[in-house]
Structure 1
Amino acid sequence: MRAFCFWCRILSCLFASCALLWASMSVIVLPDKYYLSHFFELIQHLEAHYQSVFEPAHVDFLKSFHALSEDAQCAYVRMINRKGLVFNNISFTKYPEINDPLGSLKELENAKFLSRVNETDKLMLTEFLTKTDLAKWLKKSGIRVASSESRADLVIKAQGSLDQLLLTNLELYDELFVQRRFEELDYLLFLYFGKIQRNLTLYTLRDLGIRQAHSLKTDFKARYIELTAAKQDYFFYSEIERLSDVQSEAEILEKLEFSRSVATDPIKDQWLLGIAIKFEDVNQDITLAALKECGSHPARERQARLFYKWEQVEQSRAVLEAILEDPHCDEELLFAEDFFARKFGKKRTGSLTDILKSSKQVTLSDVYLKKPEQGVIDLYQKQGYTGQFVENYLWVGLFGLIFWEELFASPVAKLFNPFDRKPADLAGPVFYNRNEVLLESKLVQMNDYNAIEFIILKTVTEHYGKMNDLFQWTTSLAPMVLDFVRKTRNKNVAHILRTMARRFDVYHSGYPDLMLEKNGEISFIEVKADGDSLKYNQLSKARLLREAGFDVEVLRVKWQSDPNQVYVVVDLETTGGAPHSHRITEIGAVKVQGGKIIDEFQTLVNPERPIPSFIQKLTGITDQMVADAPKFSEVAERFNQFTDGAIFVAHNVKFDYGFIQKEFLRIEQDYSRTHLCTCIGMKKSFPGIKSYGLKNLTNHFQISLTQHHRALCDAQASAELLFLMTGYKEPNPRKQEEPVAEQET
């Protein structure tokens, strides 16, 4: 009965979600001044919650905005929703809801929300002006401009000659304005969104039904109540935005000095790591100062690596020993153990390489080339296991379902506006520290299936479909999690969830790909195909799972060509190179098995549009030839059946496979095949050839290509390349030849 009720509730949630989706698909027309109502909604929220962190400039900004006429308010909000700070006053005449656009701009100028351009705005002007206007400005200022120069060239030239550029030589001078008081606006938007965001797009997406809002909670408190904390976070967020800007070393040193007066914080650490990376090859002192001040991983890892790179070996050793003595997290400890062993213990290979080399290896058919995890699942199913791909989804789903109330619904949940989908306190230990009693009261019940089932079912029943940034709702999530909890009552799952709660930002990802079950016993596998590497965060999660009592292994996959495997080698001719805007004119395909062609498929296709003349010349396929040919929708089923169960092969397979997938999407059908590229395969099998285009490879290996750029001929030639790659035929290269020029559609 309990299970029946559970599925009834699930179905009701699904029907409700579908109803909402259906409603959202209807055409929504926004009112003329929708953007102004959005801005008022934002500032009303700020005025209600953030007075304690306003400075006089912010109070004056809001007072000045309220004093504007509605036309001027509309013009201002239109302005802030546009990209950049420079704009042409003529562009505001296109908004019909603004009765007097030029008068509104004058009002904004009087209220100091904008101004005419001045000498300090030249850099912005170079990035705003069109190529034509920029060239005129340069020429009138006595700077030579060549007709061959691109806009990017002119921007670089202008920015290197700012002193020579005179505003009086700028033809558009009387039409250009610059937004002012943007620092105050940036700060207000930061208070609301908790990050640097310079537009109100989320409100528009909400009103159009694209972005869900107001679903997690409705009672919001202030993100900041202390001015100092708000200004510090705003400073570091702003500096992260400026990392790509040119800044003097003196500026950076001054900011580093300020950072020392601020307590360790994830945003501060993000900026410090950015500074360290930016100056790594420029100024060692700045790099080390930033890394030493940073309190988060991987700051000390970077220090150890850089000291060693700079041949300051003893300093590197000292940092490693400090990590080994007091690691910040498992990943840092694993790095230190590995790096110390290799650099100071004279070990030739790292622990990650050793683990990977010593791990169990299985051989799979290359039918699983693009989906090795599914190949491993199928392999283990033959041994009596059931398996599924879970990776991080199992763990963040379990975490979210059990701790939903603390994460999203609690009065102290760190969601600060209707658009927040992830609690702000998950970045660091604050979430666990704030909710320790409530979290532990649930964790002690982890071995009581009925208690945990009740918590999970309650979450699903009350909150199914509510958008969040931790996990995606699916109908399979709750059954998977409940089955997992039921079968792992003898494991210390609480240890894993507690670790995630303490540092979700570190422990939310890196978990093994597969979960296996046999005779009620759960185990995990991390799958590594050829070319994959093992990462420290994956090793740390494997260690965490083992601490909880689970068997975890790394499995290497080796590929083997199945002599009975069927391949379909495909070539297409098209009206152009972009699947979203061009169509197929011809399909050629050959089915091969055991090194032999066993079937063929060829048809012209009516592209339902003219074929460009240069394409007709290249392929020989004319509009007259395809006029009576079938449309793709008429050959789709036959092609689908021809390739069913086969590996899809092509030369530059992304092109052909992408076109085929797009054509199937146009008739509202899915098309998915494991695919293989003969261009990439030939590069691996026969390195050192000057060109890997189809024409050059066929010439190099003396393969027949009598009608290049006709689909069936090219498919047959590509099949010969496949035979060389898979060893069914011996290569027969020419002695010497020059690369043959390629022409591609």
Structure 2
Amino acid sequence: MKQELPAKYYLAHFRELIEFVSSKCIHLLEPKHEVFIAKINQLDEQSQCMLARVYSRKPYLVQAQSLNYEEIASPHQAIYTLKTAGILFEPNELHYAQLLTHLTKPSLVELLSSYPEQISFKKSAAKGVLVDIACAFFKDCPQELAPLYSQYVINSRSDFYEYFEFLFAGKLSRGDVNHQNRFVMRDLGLTTTREGHSESLSRFETLNEAQSNYLLNRCRLTFKNITDENDYFPLASQVLLQVAHGAIAVALKNKLLVRLYRQLKGVDSELAFSLLEACMDDSEAQEIQIREQYRLGNKEWVKARLDAIIENPLTDDLLYFADDFLMRKFNKKTRSRLSAMLADTQCVLEIDELYRGEVEQGVNDYYTHQGMQVFNTENTLWQSLFGLVFWHELFIESPYPPCNEFDIYPQVLRLDNFYEAQKTQINDRLAQCQTPQALLNLVCKNAAQYFEQPNGLFRWHNELLQPLEALILNSPIKALITHLTKMSKHYSQLKDGYPDLMVINNGQVHFEEVKAPGDKLRRNQLTTIDNLKNVGFEVHIAAVKWFVDPNRVYSVVDIETTGGLKGGNRITEIGLIKVQHGKVIDSWTTLINPQRHIPGFITSLTGISDSMVYNAPVFAEIVQPLLDKLTGTIFVAHNVNFDYGFIKKECEMAGHFFKMPKMCTVVESRKAFKGLKSYSLGNLSSHFNLNLTSHHRALADATATAELLLLIQQSQTNE
């Protein structure tokens, strides 16, 4: 529920952060930080309010006259106090360029117009051009801007306060004030926070660890903000020299080094390769090095590195790369073990081309029509199973508890040492799950107890347990336990890349990775598929081949409503005509009580009034018969997104998932009958003499649309 912001909420957030840093992070502060905090604590409330407001601004320079707030009675006095305390400062001649960049275009024009004899410019010029002209002129006389300097204060939040924010959040966001944005969203009830969190904790153990993470995060933001390619060189030198303390800092430094390599490889190859060499145990950097050194002809070096990787791989993904590269480049084999696995698991499925935009849904329907149970699972299935099995170890009994109420992703997974840190608890937990029913009971118990609590691994929803139950009860328990163990040991490698679908056939589970023509498998998908196969699961790679199904059944649908899709409007009538092999094979219609008033203009248009639908069923009462008729067919309508969108919304309100292939007779008519003035159903009916007896009644419109569909199909046949 949305909350009202408290009075002086910026001050409250400011004090909350200062209190956290003072009490929980004192070991992460330098003397200069402690001096700064002491100054803040000596300020009166009004001055603290003003400082919090200045720090909430993004620009480096803040115009003093813009700092007027209801909670600050005397803003000028507050600014004076902050200047006297040595916390805020006015810009000076050294800041002339920042000042000129900060000015608005009208202010620049006014300033430049004050020097008509010295400066020539066009008032219509872009602001960037005016800034360049101004900077060139005032470079030699920055004292001329003295009257402007006094109108601004420097936003010095990056000196100390940005570091405090980082200690709280663990990251920096480009142009955002982390803690204030988070606190405001929390106060408004608009962001997810961890329930029952009573005490915030420091996320770093040592000053070196905190500062190396902070400085590397600043490098990350610098990289994102670079517009001049020459700026990559000093940043590369800075990152190379920055020591990384702790696993998170090492990972961030590696990522920055690889990104900088990609920017510099075509400009300075020697520097670029030194960046890769500086990476510590990074699989991406090692792969790039191997590919580049092979391209340069250093095959002995490459062979030695590949052998070393295979003997002691950092990750399964890197192992598969090394195995594949060694086989193809040195052993002259066209298929490595991984390539052979890919070929052996591949099956070709012929899927109706109407599913071109929904290939997974096409394969889903393919198996569903054969009587199998199918779930769209991908990564969510395994992430939710992992999270629910190890809920206590991840969120309750973890040696790495969340640092604050906003931390919802387990720190132990971020550090990638889950099994190492909690081996005994993990093995004990899995030992309690040696039967499918025991595993299912644990999953259901944790889902019931912790439903809707934020976790950072998966999203809660009402049907979360259905695929989990199907997986657990139809899989070998040994395979499940073995894979969960592997995930606990290598979560960062096995958190994604899972197949699209899970299929249950006669009590047996198998997985389908769906690939349309032209799609390729990513390495992490191959890695995960191989892991699933190695523990005992059956996995198929479904290579889809498109065809036109001559046995398609089309459900031609028309609805009448109380108004447009937005604004809480509802369906008042549905008409459905089923067509197969060019013939109508079924028809169905019903009025529906929309549970709201039907506007007069709608009654005039459709003839459907409140009294006509008074005793009609509500949508929830007809949803199952409707879905039964639509299942396995193509949804067709004139302006299909209108009818489809309404039915999808009504189904969701009634607790049913709705998704099926669709076709629009407006779109198809434009293709088949080019050059007509109008493609409205009424005009097309007149043009082709369609049977439209009662326009704007659902069954009549559906009947005319079905006849139009047959004409379209005939025109396609005659081509």
TM-score (norm 2): 0.75
- 2:245 is equivalent to residue 256 of structure 1: no
- Mapped contact 1:108–1:114 kept (Cα < 8 A): yes
Task: Tell me, in whole angstroms, the C-alpha distance in 2 between the residues paired with 1:289 and 1:70.
Answer: 52
Deviation at 1:195, TM superposition (A): 0.9
* CA deviation profile, 1:381-431 (whole Å, cap 9, x unmatched): 344432211111121111111111121112623310111001223134422
Which piece of structure 1 moves more, 422-431 or 352-361?
A: 352-361
Q: 1:536, CA displacement in angstroms?
A: 0.7
| 1:233 aligns with one of 213, 218, 227 | 213
> CA separation in 2, counterparts of 1:201 and 1:293?
36
Structure 1 counterpart of 2:282: 296
1:420 aligns with 2:407: yes
2:253 paired residue number = 268
Deviation at 1:162, TM superposition (A): 8.3
- 1:709 CA drift (Å): 9.1
SS of the residue 1:526 aligns to: strand
**Structure 2 counterpart of 1:184, which letter?**
F
Change (3 A) 1:305 1:347: same
Match of 1:194 among 167, 170, 176: 170
1:337 aligns with 2:328: no
Structure 2 distance, partners of 1:478, 1:184, is 47
Of residues 14, 38, 60, the one that matches 1:85 is 60
Q: Secondary structure at the match of 1:183?
A: coil
- Cα displacement (A) at 1:167: 6.8
* Map 1:123-202 → 2, pairs under 5 A: 124-125=98-99, 128-136=102-110, 145-146=121-122, 149-151=125-127, 163=139, 166=142, 168=144, 173-197=149-173, 198-199=177-178, 200-202=180-182
Distance 1:435 1:668, change over 3 A: closer
Listed one character per residue, the Cα deviations across residues 238-267 of structure 1 (whole Å, up to 9, x for unaligned) are 211111335363552253134488878222
Write out per-residue CA displacement over residues 340-359 of structure 1, whole angstroms, 9 at most, x where no aligned residue.
Answer: 44444556688888766772
SS in structure 2 of the partner of residue 392 of structure 1: helix
Matched, 1:58 2:33: yes
Cα-to-partner distance string for 1:93-137 (whole Å, 9 max, x where unaligned): 2x2121112222222223333322335545544654333334555
**Which residue does 1:525 correspond to in 2?**
512
- Answering whether residue 76 of structure 2 is matched by residue 102 of structure 1, we say yes
Secondary structure of 1:115's match? coil
**Cα distance in 2 for residues equivalent to 1:81 and 1:633:** 55
Greater shift after overlay, 82-91 or 503-512? 82-91
Q: Distance in 2 between matches of 1:353 and 1:723?
A: 48
* 373-382 or 430-439, which deviates more: 373-382
Higher mean C-alpha displacement, 242-251 vs 320-329? 242-251
SS in 1 for 2:313: coil
Question: Relative to 1, partners in 2 of residues 1:312 and 1:260: Cα closer, same or farther, differing over 3 Å?
Answer: farther
Instruction: Report the Cα distance in structure 1 between the residues aligned to 2:659 and 2:101, rounded to whole angstroms.
Output: 44
Residue identity opposite 2:308 in structure 1: A
- Residues 384 and 457 of structure 2 are in contact (CA less than 8 Å); yes or no, is this contact kept in structure 1? yes
Question: Is 1:221 paired with 2:201?
Answer: yes
- Checking the alignment, whether the CA contact within 8 Å between 2:359 and 2:514 is kept in structure 1 is yes
- Distance verdict in 2 for CA 1:164–1:544, change over 3 Å: farther
1:528-677 matched pairs, under 5 angstroms: 528-563=515-550, 564-566=552-554, 646-647=634-635, 657=641, 661=645, 674=661
Does the residue aligned with 1:524 lie in a helix, a strand or coil? strand
Q: CA deviation at 1:456?
A: 2.9
Using the TM superposition, name which of 364-373 and 306-315 deviates more: 306-315
Q: Could you report, residue by residue, the CA deviation over 1:170-211 in whole angstroms, capped at 9, with x for unpaired residues?
A: 985443322115231111111111111523111111111122
**8 Å Cα contact 1:567/1:593 also seen in 2:** yes
Residue 351 of structure 2 is aligned with which of 364, 368, 385? 364
2:50 aligned with 1:75: yes
2:703 aligns to what? Answer: none
Task: Give distance in 2, aligned partners of 1:727 and 1:346.
Answer: 54
Tell me how far 1:273 sits from its aligned partner.
2.2
The 1-side partners of 2:373 and 2:123 are apart by 67
Aligned to 1:111: 85
Pairwise CA distance, 1:666:
12
Aligned residues of 1:513 and 1:524 also touching (Cα < 8 A):
yes
Contact 2:557 2:643 in 1 (8 A): no
Output the CA distance in 1 between the equivalents of 2:60 and 2:74.
Answer: 21
Aligned to 1:283: 268
Q: How does 1:201-220 map to 2 (within 5 A)?
A: 201-215=181-195, 217-220=197-200
Residue 363 of structure 1 and its aligned partner are, at CA, apart by: 1.1
What TM-score do you get using the length of structure 1 for normalisation?
0.73
CA distance 1:83–1:180, change in 2 (3 Å): closer
Pairs within 5 Å for 1:462-541: 462-541=449-528
Q: Which amino acid aligns with 1:474?
A: H
Structure 1 unaligned residues grouped into runs of 5+:
1-23, 571-578, 582-590, 599-624, 683-693, 732-745
On the 8 A contact 1:367/1:565 being kept in 2, the answer is: no
Q: Secondary structure at the match of 2:283?
A: coil
- Distance in 2 of aligned mates of 1:400 and 1:300: 31
Q: Residue 113 of structure 1 contacts residue 179 of structure 1 at CA under 8 Å; is this kept in 2?
A: no
Please give the per-residue CA displacement for 1:620-643, whole angstroms capped at 9, x wherever unaligned: xxxxx99x9789999xx99x99x9
SS state of the match for residue 325, structure 2?
Answer: helix
The answer to whether the 8 A contact 2:90-2:153 is kept is yes
> 2:501–2:511: 8 Å Cα contact kept in structure 1?
yes
Secondary structure of the 1:421 match is coil
Q: Relative to structure 1, is the Cα distance of residues 217 and 88 closer, same or farther in structure 2, using a 3 angstrom cutoff?
A: same
CA distance in 2, matches of 1:668, 1:262: 47
With 414-423 and 30-39 compared, the bigger mean Cα shift is at 30-39
Deviation of the 1:526 alpha carbon: 0.8
The equivalent of 2:19 in structure 1 is 44
Deviation at 1:553, TM superposition (A): 1.2
Work out the CA distance in 2 between the residues paired with 1:50 and 1:633. Answer: 68
Matched residue, 2:292: 306
Change (3 A) 1:98 1:524: same
In structure 2, the gaps of 5 or more residues are: 559-564, 568-576, 585-600, 611-617, 689-705
* Contact 1:352 1:534 (8 Å CA) reproduced: no
Equivalent residue for 1:705, pick from 643, 655, 675: 675
Partner letter of residue 159 of structure 2? E
Deviation at 1:56, TM superposition (A): 0.9
Q: Percent identity?
A: 27
Structure 2 Cα separation of the partners of residues 662 and 137 of structure 1? 58
Cα distance, 1:156–1:675 mapped onto 2, change above 3 Å: farther
Asked if 2 retains the 8 angstrom alpha-carbon contact of 1:137 and 1:170, the reply is no
Q: Which amino acid aligns with 1:228?
A: N
Counterpart of 2:716 in structure 1 is 728
Shift in Å, 1:289: 1.8
CA distance in 1: counterparts of 2:440 and 2:289, whole angstroms? 46
